[in-house]
Chain A
Amino acid sequence: MENDWKVIALIYSGKPDPQWHLTEMQADHFLNLFSRAADSRNDVVIPSILGYKGLRLLSHKKQFLIYNGTITLLEKGLSSSKKDEGKNIEKYLLKTAPKKISDLLRQLNIL
């Protein structure tokens, strides 16, 4: 469970959002990208809009919110944020989606 990483694409309002799991290698790569990213003063604010609202990445103890060029780590009640230049980390995570979900993401112009 400790190494189980789940990505949730925040798309829907009513239906449960599509979600998938990262492999250990994908999770390590994400953590590596995150650790190397520049600090950000602003935390991610998940927007109250209909449509795509970013990504949630969940592990046993950590939660990342990824949206619009910022990534926020929520852990033990504290938050720290990094810049996601060019939304490259968000794009990387979106590309890890399995085919069925990536087809949906393309259909919705998210990918």
Chain B
Amino acid sequence: MFSGRPNPSMVLSDAESRLLIKKISSALRKKISRKAEPFPSMLGYRGIIIETFGTKRRTDILPRMQFTPGYVYTHNGGRRSDDLPYLESFVLQRLSSFEGVRSIRSFKERLKKQMEDFHEKCPKWRKNHHKWYSQLLKDFYRPIKYKPCYCAPLPDLDAWNNDPNIQWGNNCYNYGTNYRTDTYAQPGYASGGEENDLSACSVPAGHISARMGAENDGLIALPSNNNTCPAMGHLVALVIAPDSDYHWYRKGRNGKWSHKMGGSPATILDNSGNPITDPRTADRGSYVDFCTFMQVIHGHFKIDGPY
């Protein structure tokens, strides 16, 4: 019934297990149905799972069975089964055996309500699934003709500048990757491969450049990119003040560049106060070496810092 937390569970006694197996074994003897309805991937209660464990397991009982209206799903497919109503009443009579349930009464009310909703909505969900899922899936994977920087961060300067703790605790790397840590993130710090050589974009073997540190964190170098948004995530640009520091710019959803200098407020202007159309040509002060554009794919990287 949960999506993030572990599901509520109970361990059955040997006697109870025998009773249950007797009831469900006829369904498990049935052949896998090629025309089985899709498993209802719905939020909330979505059936009952029976798992077997221990050293003396019966070989005719599969290790994991998920019962839904009309079907039971195992590792190798779905079979017809009308056992769910029996299993639900079996469970509702034994709620005190559930682990981690604080109030049996409220849990029972909630569970019964969710069971009713599920039985009502599951047929509709399956009907809609038949109706348009294959088309939706096709659309989902179709190359998108999107506006530039469709997946890039929205303009959100205030979110970085209005709270002193956020402003001072997040630097150009945080802002560039759009990942607030409040720890002054450093390239490679989260992955254990922190940069240790800022002499240039390319460093001698055995040293770790800012680019390599960022790659260790999960960013992807796009050396041949020409200021265009990647298909996934967003574009950032890495520059170096040789032997001193590094700096990041990010391209927003509107296609415009912005950046944040250490603990200073994030801004859309370069060092001359001009808008940044391309970080390669912007006034970058002492950050004279343009290293590379990089791709930040949300959910595919991790950053952190020393504070």
A residues contacting B by CB (< 8 A) are: 10-17, 46-51, 53, 56, 74, 108
B residues contacting A by CB (< 8 A) are: 164, 171-173, 184, 186-187, 198, 210, 241, 244-248, 259-267, 269, 271, 284-287, 305-307
Give Cα A64 to B271, complex, Å: 24
A49 in contact with B285 given A12-B244, A13-B245 (CB within 8 Å): yes
Q: B186, A50: Cβ atoms under 8 Å?
A: no
Q: B286, A10: Cβ atoms under 8 Å?
A: no
Q: B306, A16: Cβ atoms under 8 Å?
A: yes
**In the complex, how many residue pairs between chain A and chain B have their CB atoms under 8 Å apart?**
75
Give Cα A17 to B269, complex, Å: 22
- Minimum CB distance partner of B171 in chain A: A14
13 further interface pairs, Cβ-Cβ under 8 Å (given A14-B262, A50-B284, A56-B263): A10-B263, A11-B262, A12-B245, A13-B259, A13-B261, A14-B172, A14-B247, A49-B261, A49-B285, A50-B247, A50-B261, A50-B285, A53-B264
| A–B complex contacts, Cβ < 8 Å, 18 sampled | A10-B262, A10-B264, A13-B248, A13-B259, A13-B261, A14-B171, A14-B173, A14-B187, A16-B305, A17-B263, A48-B265, A48-B266, A48-B267, A50-B261, A50-B285, A50-B286, A53-B262, A53-B264
Q: What DSSP secondary structure best describes chain B's contact surface?
A: loop
Q: A14, B210: Cβ atoms under 8 Å?
A: yes
Contacts of A16 in B (CB 8 A): 184, 186, 305-307
- Minimum CB distance partner of B306 in chain A: A16
Give Cα A108 to B284, complex, Å: 15
B273, chain A: closest CB distance, angstroms: 9
A46 in contact with B263 given A13-B247, A14-B246, A14-B248 (CB within 8 Å): yes
Give Cα A51 to B284, complex, Å: 9
Partner of B186, one of A14, A17, A49, A56: A14
Most interface-central of B173, B210, B262 (chain A CB within 10 A): B262
Give Cα A12 to B306, complex, Å: 15
Q: B271, A17: Cβ atoms under 8 Å?
A: no
Q: A15, B186: Cβ atoms under 8 Å?
A: yes
Nearest 3 A/B pairs, CB to CB = A50-B285, A48-B267, A13-B247
Q: A46, B285: Cβ atoms under 8 Å?
A: no
Contacts of B260 in A (CB 8 A): 13, 48
A48 in contact with B245 given A10-B263, A10-B264, A15-B186 (CB within 8 Å): no
- Minimum CB distance partner of A46 in chain B: B264
- Minimum CB distance partner of B265 in chain A: A48
Contacts of B285 in A (CB 8 A): 49-51
B65, chain A: closest CB distance, angstroms: 53
A53 in contact with B261 given A12-B245, A14-B248, A48-B267 (CB within 8 Å): yes
